[in-house]
Structure 1
Amino acid sequence: MSDVRTVIHDHDGGLDDILSLLLLTRYGNVALRGVTVTPADCLLAPALSVTRKVLAMTGLPHVPVAAGELQGRNPFPLEWRIDALRMDALPVLNRPGPLGGEPVDLPAHRQLAAWLLAAEAPVTVLATGPMTNLAWCLDRHPEVEPKIAEVVFMGGALDVPGNVDQPGHDGSAEWNIYWDPDAAQRVFDSGVPVTMFPLDITDLVPIIGEFACAFGEHYGNPVSDLAGTLLAMTFGTLETTGMPYCGWDSLTTSYLAVPDMFEFETARCRVVTTGPSQGRTVRDPAGRPVKCARTVDPDHFYKHCLATLT
């Protein structure tokens, strides 16, 4: 089918990244070519295990999974990264049966380059973590540019405060960019089409109790049980960090299935790569044009997730 997208999912193992992967496995218009896992908002080994178990559960055991080894400049807090350990122990992911997700020998950045170079038609890269692997590909293999139809990226904060609260930082950056600001700017410096979902729009879809608990009506279906459990595991974020847990990655992923749910603007922007504002995404008339999501109906998003995952 001509309207089917070939997608590579480059994620970093957080709760919402796995919810995004779960959504991808349900979309009829997505052909999942492979998954790369960046060791950013996760502990790598359990995040890889969770990824493979989700692919097995959803009938996609053939999809290859590559382990990331490149590191960013600013590590995520350990207390966030251990969510991967909790996910890996969930009963719904540990039913009898083999793991899915064919492991590959190449590290994620090299495997991503190999997949892109071998692509017969341009591929969509869904980046719900930092863009470190993609930046490496563009640096070392600039010939991959025409192989990329679109980079769909969760990251940035244009007209709202960031979500980084670290010593010496001014709080203006979003974490996926802050982890590796140079990588984000490298992708912005390229000619690949970028569609960005910044905090400006993802902040509109907090994970609310009514949404998470609605999955209980479908208890007994492994996919909906996992989705509801992942959402329940986000509770307490506001109380411990002062910031709500939002559907950052899952909202970004939903664009692949229902693009008309969003309104967009073209924003010229760049990334601050040094100093107390490093990782900040700023509007700049001399910056590169980015297709930036601006508005969404939260109820539409919640209903889309429920319909897709139940």
Structure 2
Amino acid sequence: MRKKNRSDVIWLCVLIIISVHACTPGDSVGISESISHESSPMPIIIDTDMGADDVIAILSLLGREDIEVLAITIAATGLVDCEHGIRHATKLISLAGADRIPLACGRKLPIIGDRVFPSSFREAANGFYGMPVPGTSRSYEIDQAASLIIDVIEEETRPVHLLTLGPLTNIGDLLAQKTEIAEKITSITMMGGALDVPGNVSLETGLSGATNVEWNFYIDPVAVEIVMETDIEKTLVPLDATNQVPLTSDFYTLLKANQKTRLAEYVLDLLEENPSMLRGGFFLWDPLAAVSIMDTDLIEYENQNIDVELDSGDQAGRVYKSGLGNPVHIAAKVDPSEIEQEIIAALNGIEHEELVMGLTPIASNAARASLVWAFPVEQLTLEEPVHMFFPPHLTEDLVIFPGWDGKIHAVERDRGVQRWVFDPEGDSAGYLPTNGKQVFVTGSDGKLYALDIKTGEENWRIETEGKLGAPYPYGDLILAWDDAGSLEAFDQSTGEVIWEHELESEVAVFVQPPLHIPFTIADDTVFFPERGIFKAIDMMSGSVIWRYEAEEWVSWRHIISEDRVFIIDDGGQVLSIDSESGEVVWKSSLDSTDNLLLLSTGDDRLFVRQKSNKIIALDLVSGDFLWENETPYGINEIDPMFEVVDDDVLYINSSDWNSESGAISAFDIPTGGLIWTFDNGSELGKFAVYDDLIAFGTFDGEFLVINRNDGEIVAEFESGAITFSPPGLSDSEAYFLCLDGNFYAIAWEN
């Protein structure tokens, strides 16, 4: 919150800065050596900490004839130290034939405090990301960035625009040393901050209190406040906007097809030297800020009053919307493909229309899906990554999903802006059932939560004796196992326990709850297995209706179809049981040594996996054998992936972990004939079906949409990382969680 003594703090900092510079005068690089310019180009000064994305941003600006870079200063509180920053900047201006651009470096520590980037970040930046950068004889002065900017602005007859790509320490020093210089600065564009999305500091450092802070603003909060308090026109390019432009293979492909200048060649070499940048988690942070100077029409902006958090520990440096804040133009929405094209055109010194569009579809009828937005959550940190088994929940305007950080996130479907986030006291369960008004969450803390689906506010919570399995809403109740040995029913409105059924023995499968829900509800009856027992209990009271006993065990997986329950017992027999009476109707004669697994039903057929990859169809009424066929690889026993559509086609996923291969096969239900098989040589994630589409991720970094009628690719997208969980799917959009720590929204043309 805004503190009453804030101005005193700021002006104390100003006095400190002025006194320090009064005691340590230094000669900056001569302004007379700066490049000549005409009246038409926009004069800008770039303040940078020389990260990999800074390199792309700076070279794209140096490639523009309508932009004149008057000076480059190094923010030594950022990723690089002075020596390496100057060397790399010297290389960049040399590539552009602009060696006369003056350079200077700023102070090593923030105005107040001692925050620094992680050493691994700084080592990569100081090492030029593996790029060959020769030593330089270019002279420069340490702690003279502000002085250089002042000299350049005072000699310039035109108003100057500032672009900041790192911490704001140099600009804070500048405005503190000579406040009147602000009159000659027409505007300042800053890459920094996070407003309606998570910050990125805690993702890398584990600072749990810094969840809403972005690195550039985190390093020097006082400098951010000094800049925000000025009357200079300010444009902010926050993570809210940059999350929409991840660096993808599409960018690389287009750049590789357009190599007309040394600038474009250098950026291509940078990406090829650092292929991890294309595997997810890397965004066009600073290049987007550069684009905001090149062409403001490519970005949608909104005007907000912004305040800065100064006095909240790890949260210091957080920016937020406030009526007491200062007016700022905020980059809000972008088209990723337009941004990519603008950057690559600038690197090549050409217009959009002159670009060679180098994208080649992977199939003749496949469309290249475009990124709508990417929402960074966190890379995999959970000990039990159960989230990979469940799809996100889609409402009309929200997508709700569990993140790898153990939290529940609700993000606007159209913009990727966070609407709300819920952090249970333990890791969330992953499965998020709703009743249209509430989202139900269980987790490792043994609590059941009911959240308002629109706001994420907690309506109620209840604590149980053990860890809860995945919740299952039905009617006015919600059911969940707890590993203390009971099945419990709760009132959906209040969380009140309605009944509790104590188990006679352990549940047949309770692996990493809540991977599975080993109970089924039909006609107000709950069906579930225990060790050697299968029960039917009354949904309203929890009392036992009937029970079937085997000698040792019954399968955890069971199927309800019309008035029958299908299970497998310890004799390896498939049993059909009357769902009302518990009487056995028929038993199959399948061999017990063949590792049986129930799959699904359709068109009066029961589908059973035999061995690892054989599918058998039995008559639902009689149990008679009808047909058999095989999948290319084994069918997952713990979490088989299949879908029956319109009682006509059975779609099933098979995989071989040893060869890292997988396939989706479509079988004709009446005959058992194979219709098609999709196999692209990679193991496949869980799929989702919507109308005529099947969508899924692969283990080699692709996300694919295929036509369920013929298995042909409809659209494809490269995230660069594994996508295992099933997506949320509509007729032209998909939403999915990726192992690179991002949640993606993509779209394609039908």
Superposed, 1:177-216 pairs within 5 Å as 177-216=217-256
Q: How does 1:43-122 map to 2 (within 5 A)?
A: 43-72=81-110, 73-87=114-128, 90-91=131-132, 93-94=133-134, 103-105=139-141, 107-122=144-159
Aligned match of 1:158 in 167, 171, 195?
195
The equivalent of 2:307 in structure 1 is: 270
Deviations 1:101-124 (A, max 9, x none): x64446112222222233322100
Q: 1:219/1:143 Cα in 2 relative to 1: closer, same or farther (>3 Å)? A: closer
- Contact 1:70/1:133 (8 A) holds in 2: no
Distance 1:143 1:285 in 2: 26
Aligned match of 2:338 in 290, 294, 300? 300
Distance in 2, Cα, partners of 1:53 & 1:238: 24
**2:318 counterpart residue number:** 280
Question: Which amino acid letter does the alignment assign opposite residue 18 of structure 1?
Answer: V
What is the deviation of 1:306? 2.0
Tell me: higher relative CO, structure 1 or 2? Use CA pairs within 8 A at least 6 residues apart.
Answer: 1
- Residues 220 and 289 of structure 1: is their aligned pair in 2 closer, same or farther, counting only changes over 3 Å? closer
The question of 1:22 aligning with 2:63 is answered no
Query: For residues 22 and 121 of structure 1, what CA distance do their matches in structure 2 show?
Result: 23
The 8 Å contact of residues 252 and 268 in structure 2, kept in 1 or not, is answered as: yes
Matched with 2:257 is 217
Q: Secondary structure at 1:276's aligned position in 2?
A: helix
- For residue 6 of structure 1, what is the aligned residue in structure 2? 43
Distance 1:268 1:109 in 2: 27
Work out whether residues 49 and 88 of structure 1, in 8 Å CA contact, stay in contact via their aligned partners in 2: no
Please give the alpha-carbon distance, in whole angstroms, between the structure 2 residues aligned to 1:75 and 1:86: 17
* 2:59–2:92 CA contact under 8 A, matched in 1: yes
Question: What are the Cα deviations for residues 148-198 of structure 1, in whole angstroms up to 9, with x where unaligned?
Answer: 001011011111110111335331101000010110011001111111100
The Cα of 1:287 is off from its aligned counterpart by 0.3
Partner of 2:386: none
Give the conservation status (yes or no) of the 8 Å contact 1:163–1:172.
yes
Which amino acid letter does the alignment assign opposite residue 301 of structure 1?
Answer: I
> Structure 1 173/233 Cα, relative in aligned 2: closer, same or farther at 3 Å?
farther
Closer, same or farther: CA 103–7 of 1 in aligned 2, 3 Å: farther
Q: Distance in 2 between matches of 1:225 and 1:83?
A: 21
Question: Could you tell me which residue of structure 2 aligns to residue 257 of structure 1?
Answer: 294
CA distance 1:292–1:253, shift in 2 (3 Å): same
Offset, 1:233: 5.4
Structure 1 residues without counterparts, runs of 5 or longer: none
**Contact residue 109 and residue 133 of structure 1 kept, 8 A:** yes
Task: Tell me how far 1:234 sits from its aligned partner.
Answer: 5.6
Distance 1:152 1:87 in 2: 25
TM-score, normalised with respect to structure 1: 0.90
Q: Following the alignment from structure 2 to structure 1, what is the Cα–Cα distance between the partners of residues 303 and 259? A: 42
Q: How far apart are the structure 2 equivalents of 1:54 and 1:47? A: 11
Distance 1:45 1:189 in 2: 32
SS in 2 for 1:75: coil
Identity of aligned residues (%): 27
Q: Unaligned regions of 5+ residues in structure 2, if any?
A: 1-37, 349-750
Letter in 2 for 1:189: E
Decide whether the 8 Å contact of 2:54 with 2:287 is kept in 1.
yes
Q: Secondary structure at the match of 2:315?
A: coil
AA matched with 2:70: R
Closer/same/farther in 2, CA of residues 294 and 88 from structure 1, 3 Å limit: closer
Map Cα deviations across residues 251-276 of structure 1 (whole Å, 9 max, x no partner). Answer: 11012211110111111011111223
From the superposition, tell whether residues 27 and 163 of structure 1 become closer, same or farther in structure 2 (CA, over 3 Å).
same
Q: What corresponds to 2:179 in structure 1?
A: 142
Mapped partners of 1:238, 1:33: distance in 2? 32
For residues 237 and 177 of structure 1, do their structure 2 counterparts lie closer, same or farther at Cα, with a shift above 3 Å needed?
same
Question: SS where residue 286 of structure 1 aligns?
Answer: coil
- 1:24-71 deviations in Å (ceiling 9; x for gaps): 111111111100001111233222111101111111011011022241
Give the drift of 1:23. 0.9
Contact 2:255 2:268 in 1 (8 A): yes
Residues 140 and 281 of structure 1: CA distance in aligned 2, closer, same or farther (over 3 Å): same
Larger radius of gyration: 2
Determine the C-alpha separation between the residues in 2 that align with 1:30 and 1:103.
25
- What CA distance in whole angstroms lies between the structure 2 residues aligned with 1:103 and 1:115? 17
> In 2, Cα distance between the equivalents of 1:174 and 1:250?
16
Which is strand-richer, 1 or 2? 2
Q: CA-to-partner distance for each residue in 1:7-28, whole Å, 9 max, x for gaps?
A: 1000011001111110111111
Secondary structure of the 2:201 match is: coil
> What amino acid maps onto 1:304 in structure 2?
E
The one-letter code matched in structure 2 to 1:79 is S
Asked if the contact 1:125–1:148 (Cα under 8 Å) also holds between the matched residues in 2, the reply is: yes
CA contact (8 A) 2:247 2:277 kept: no
Question: In structure 2, how many angstroms separate the alpha carbons of the residues matched to 1:65 and 1:291?
Answer: 29
Structure with greater proportional helix content:
1
Contact 2:307 2:319 in 1 (8 A): yes
Distance 1:183 1:192 in 2: 14
In the TM superposition, residue 90 of structure 1 has moved relative to its aligned partner by: 2.2
Please tell me whether the aligned partners of residues 81 and 108 of structure 2 are also in contact (alpha carbons under 8 angstroms).
no
Aligned length: 302
Aligned to 2:17: none
Secondary structure of residue in 2 paired with 1:34: strand
Of 179, 195, 216, the residue aligned with 1:176 is 216
Secondary structure at the counterpart of residue 133 of structure 1: helix
Counterpart CA distance in 1 for 2:273 and 2:218 is 24
Name the structure 2 match of 1:230.
270
Distance 1:89 1:163, change over 3 A: closer
Instruction: Give 1:87 deviation, angstroms.
Output: 2.2
Contact (CA 8 Å) 2:43, 2:69: kept in 1 or not?
yes
Give TM-score scaled by structure 2 length.
0.38
More displaced, 76-85 or 121-130? Answer: 76-85
Q: CA deviation at 1:220?
A: 8.3
1:65-111 CA distances to partner (integer Å, 9 max, x unpaired)? Answer: 102224123201111112234327524x55xxx969x6444611222
State the SS of the aligned residue for 1:169: helix
Within 2, Cα distance between the matches of 1:266 and 1:3? 28
Change (3 A) 1:225 1:122: same
**C-alpha distance in 2 between matches for 1:23 and 1:220:** 13
Deviates more, 1:209-218 or 1:268-277: 209-218
CA-atom RMSD in angstroms? 2.3
